[in-house]
Structure 1
Amino acid sequence: MDLIGLYPTWLDTSVGSGWIVGIIATAHVLFSHTSVAAAIFFAWLVNHAYRTNQPGLLEFVRRYGMFLLVFSYVLGSITGPGIWYSTTVASPRGISALIHSFVWMWATEWVFFVIEVAGVYMLVYLVGKVDVRTHTRIAVIFGLTSYTTMLIIVGILSFMMWPGRPEWAETGGVLNAFYGGNTFAHLGMRTAFMFTIMAVVGGIVAARFEDAELKRRVARTLSVVGIVSALAGVAMLQWYLSTLPETAAIVLENRLPERFPVMLAVAVGGTVLYFALTWAQPRLLMPGLAAAMTVAILVVGLWPEEVARESVRKPWVAGQYVYSNQVVGRDVPGMGVKSEIPKLEAHGWLATHAFIPQELRTVRDGNRVEAGRALALAACSNCHSLSATGMRPLARYFSPAASEGEVAEYLQAALASGNTLYMPQIPLRADEAQALAAYILSTLPGRATATAAATAQAPVKE
């Protein structure tokens, strides 16, 4: 019997692999979105500075560019590979699916990124050293190449939610996968909010100007950009939500914590108030205030947005055919991919997973809990922490008073059919369901107490 080509599971017992990926990715969004928006902003600001003879604005571009060399290009170059590493070990088949579909898209993005990095150095260090026409061309090229990297990455991220065109599954093709109803709504939302982020971070630089008039002009310009982009971002968010597939809309409505929309509303409202304040009273713009606002955007704005975006595409992790637990759940003729569900239904997880220890492939009384743990690692741990901490701890969903049979029955009824929209289809043989139930119950803190109480209440046979 052929084994399914699954990979070893990355188990982090502290917060879970999902949170580690999320923390790295959210930080990277802050760094990368700031640089892309700043590149476009610089293209306009450099031209405006030369046309209106305002050398102070060029000094702002120079200082902000120097700041970005560390903030975006050094820190971003650390978190970027961090995303690659963490997602590859957390979801190797998901990353494999993306590479097989978009390897040349990524290669193109890297070419533009090299131009972007060269562009920021040239823009910063050639202020006053080249003629106006050359410097403005550098600024425009820097802006265009930077935004192109955003366009490519958003297309790939949108594919993770929903493949571009309906015919992609049958015919394949990178453009069919890339361009879809969700792509440009996603791009519009990110474009709007990235200017908001750029304006907040730019305040850290603008606040250090000693020239009160220059500080006032820059602070007010950033405030206008921040307010307009924040309000535009709300409109783009509504457009984005309208393009989500039905399953994502259901997950968004029923499975996300109630605090998420509140946090996003607080982030947008607080940002608009912040910019209104710095527009009315530019002298109040201080480095500490701008830095605190940057952290607030990261924690209250970007984190819930990124978590929500990643959550609503469940149970899929890529292209609506790779489940979050790495199992291929659908046929994709255009990619030569076959669903692995029939094999799991016929032979079970323990017999077909390549990295299940040999002694656990058959469930026995002596290894039932350990076999259940192996199943939980393989089938559940990508989305559910197996410890009491981390993302969606598995033990949270079961009562200590439940019997092993009740839990096993639930697992087979809820998961085997694939009718739970936000959960993968997980066909479990009867002995596997019993083993997984035994393991889950063994992790519940109140299990011993509940078992003792049930025993005490049981009728005595005479």
Structure 2
Amino acid sequence: MIGLYPTWFEPGVGSGWVVGLIATIHVLFSHTSVGAAIFFAWLANHAHRHNKPELLEFIRRYGLFLLVFSYVLGSITGPGIWFATTVASPRGISALIHSFVWMWATEWVFFVIEVVGVYMLVYLAGRIDVKTHTRIAVIFGLTSYTTMLVIVGILSFMMWPGNANWTETGGVLNAFFGPNTFAQLGMRTAFMFTITAVVGGIVVGSFKDLAVKKQIGRQLAVLGMAAAVIGALMLQWYLATLPETAEVVLENRLPAHFPMALMAAVGGTIAYFLLTLVQPRAIVSGLAGVMTVVILVFGLWPEEVARESIRKPWVAGQYVYSNQVVGRDVPGMGVKSEIPTIEAHGFLKTHVFMPEHLRTVTDANRVEAGRALALATCSNCHSLSSTGMRPLAQYFVGTHSEADVATYLQAALSGGNTLYMPQVPLNDVEARALAAFIQSIAKPLASVQAVQAKE
């Protein structure tokens, strides 16, 4: 037996999209808070040095806005990510925890300091001496950025362990630090300032004094445009650090509109900042709110979907497949590949939570056993219905026979020859069962498409 958990199956959009939706919204909240924290540190020092109380008022209002926008909503979506990823990818989360438990503990400590810091920065403005308030702003900014550094290192490990020797030696630093870590940190740092500047427009729009609006709006516009350009350059650095499998997915598996969506989001954001720089009256809360949604839908969503897609077939450390099977030996962590066990005994017989009546395929249960295989091996990346992400049926619509589909599955999956899909060493019986299930969902879809074509 191999220690696989039961599969979380969400029939509507798929577990991957549920995680992706929560994570993308959380990125908006978290990146705004980190960028604002660092911006506040500079702005508070500038305000105190040049005696500009209106800037401190902006910090106070923006800070109050963040208490709900980032720290309340972010504190809801953050645990939401933990819950969703734990049920969708339990072994992936386990791998991250075993590698980074103290890193995560450190991040939580800094997050507590960050939350306390934003309250102190907002409610003590004008009530304590300038030097102390500036120190609070700096501490708030540094602790907030530290939380991002830790999380980015963990996200980078999901794509590509930092040190090539990590599989042999183990060690948190070998897992954490690598070219992908700093490239992703640089890209996210740049874009977080862009997001901070856009969201800041919601707050600036509430100021009635045009001179104040012009002053703060100019600073946000310069920050946002510079960060957007630097972020686009950092994205090229990030792409240069990706492994071979990620490049294949980028070229062959992502929708063609993804690059255009990202370019449109960056271009539209720069155009918005140029407008507010030239015409401060254009800084209204409604327009800034629309731009925030635009960045979320056309910027963050494609970026997060692409990042999650290009790490396929792995979910963590290049050794846990997206379907939770351990696909590689990691001597440094005492981990053994489960592929030989599956090859020797079959997937149905080695999955702990497989119903007993499906462990042996018969003519009576062939389709049901195939569905169980699809749930365990495919549903993490493919929807088993006609909706959701990458519907499995759409890849097999046509006149293919069950034998043809089984042959293809074994050729594509059994030897691990498809770079972006996990190795699933199906034996002949399991391949025919999975093919039978795929045929059962592909034929109705083919009929629907035929009727639509006639209409």
SS at structure 2 position matched to 1:317: strand
2-structure distance, mates of 1:449, 1:211: 64
Give the direction of change, closer, same or farther, for the CA distance of 1:449–1:37 in structure 2 (3 Å limit).
closer
2-structure distance, mates of 1:230, 1:291: 18
1-structure distance, mates of 2:41, 2:89: 38
> What aligned pairs does 1:212-231 form with structure 2 within 5 A after superposition?
212-231=210-229
1-structure distance, mates of 2:236, 2:351: 42
1-structure distance, mates of 2:251, 2:437: 31
Contact 1:369 1:439 in 2 (8 A): yes
Corresponding letter in the other structure for 2:338: E
> What aligned pairs does 1:192-271 form with structure 2 within 5 A after superposition?
192-271=190-269
2-structure distance, mates of 1:447, 1:134: 66
> What aligned pairs does 1:238-317 form with structure 2 within 5 A after superposition?
238-317=236-315
SS at structure 1 position matched to 2:442: coil
2-structure distance, mates of 1:448, 1:162: 39
> What aligned pairs does 1:344-383 form with structure 2 within 5 A after superposition?
344-383=342-381
SS at structure 2 position matched to 1:423: coil
Matching residue of 2:67: 69
Matching residue of 2:451: none
SS at structure 1 position matched to 2:343: helix
Matching residue of 1:318: 316
Corresponding letter in the other structure for 2:271: L
SS at structure 2 position matched to 1:328: coil
Quote how far apart the aligned CAs of 1:400 are: 3.3
1:440 to 418, 438, 441: 438
Contact 2:262 2:303 in 1 (8 A): yes
Contact 1:400 1:447 in 2 (8 A): no
> What aligned pairs does 1:138-177 form with structure 2 within 5 A after superposition?
138-177=136-175
2-structure distance, mates of 1:268, 1:199: 13
Quote how far apart the aligned CAs of 1:246 are: 1.2
1-structure distance, mates of 2:22, 2:397: 33
Matching residue of 1:120: 118
1:204-253 Cα shifts (integer Å, max 9, x gaps)? 00011011110110111100000000000000000000011111111111
1-structure distance, mates of 2:69, 2:369: 47
Matching residue of 1:23: 21
Corresponding letter in the other structure for 1:385: S
Contact 1:64 1:202 in 2 (8 A): yes
Contact 1:208 1:286 in 2 (8 A): yes
SS at structure 2 position matched to 1:268: helix
Matching residue of 1:49: 47
> What aligned pairs does 1:329-340 form with structure 2 within 5 A after superposition?
329-340=327-338
Q: Which runs of 5+ in 2 are unaligned?
A: 449-455
1:32 to 10, 30, 33: 30
Tell me how large the CA RMSD over aligned residues is: 0.9
2-structure distance, mates of 1:60, 1:107: 33
1-structure distance, mates of 2:179, 2:112: 30
Quote how far apart the aligned CAs of 1:449 are: 5.8
Matching residue of 2:383: 385
| Aligned residues with identical type, % of pairs | 75
SS at structure 1 position matched to 2:179: coil
Quote how far apart the aligned CAs of 1:445 are: 4.2
2-structure distance, mates of 1:367, 1:436: 11
Contact 1:205 1:287 in 2 (8 A): yes
SS at structure 1 position matched to 2:9: coil
Matching residue of 2:417: 419
2-structure distance, mates of 1:4, 1:332: 16
Instruction: List structure 1 segments (4+ residues) > 6 angstroms apart after TM superposition.
Output: none
Corresponding letter in the other structure for 2:435: A
SS at structure 2 position matched to 1:21: helix
Q: Does 1:82 align with 2:53?
A: no
1-structure distance, mates of 2:288, 2:447: 52
Q: Which runs of 5+ in 1 are unaligned?
A: 451-462
Contact 1:400 1:441 in 2 (8 A): no
2-structure distance, mates of 1:252, 1:71: 33
Give the direction of change, closer, same or farther, for the CA distance of 1:275–1:449 in structure 2 (3 Å limit).
closer
2-structure distance, mates of 1:245, 1:37: 29
Matching residue of 1:102: 100
SS at structure 1 position matched to 2:315: strand
Q: Does 1:5 align with 2:13?
A: no
TM-score, structure 1 normalization: 0.96
Contact 1:264 1:304 in 2 (8 A): yes
SS at structure 2 position matched to 1:14: coil
Corresponding letter in the other structure for 1:332: V
SS at structure 1 position matched to 2:112: helix
Contact 1:441 1:447 in 2 (8 A): no
SS at structure 2 position matched to 1:271: helix
1:386-412 Cα shifts (integer Å, max 9, x gaps)? 111101010011023110000000000
2-structure distance, mates of 1:449, 1:438: 17
TM-score, structure 2 normalization: 0.98
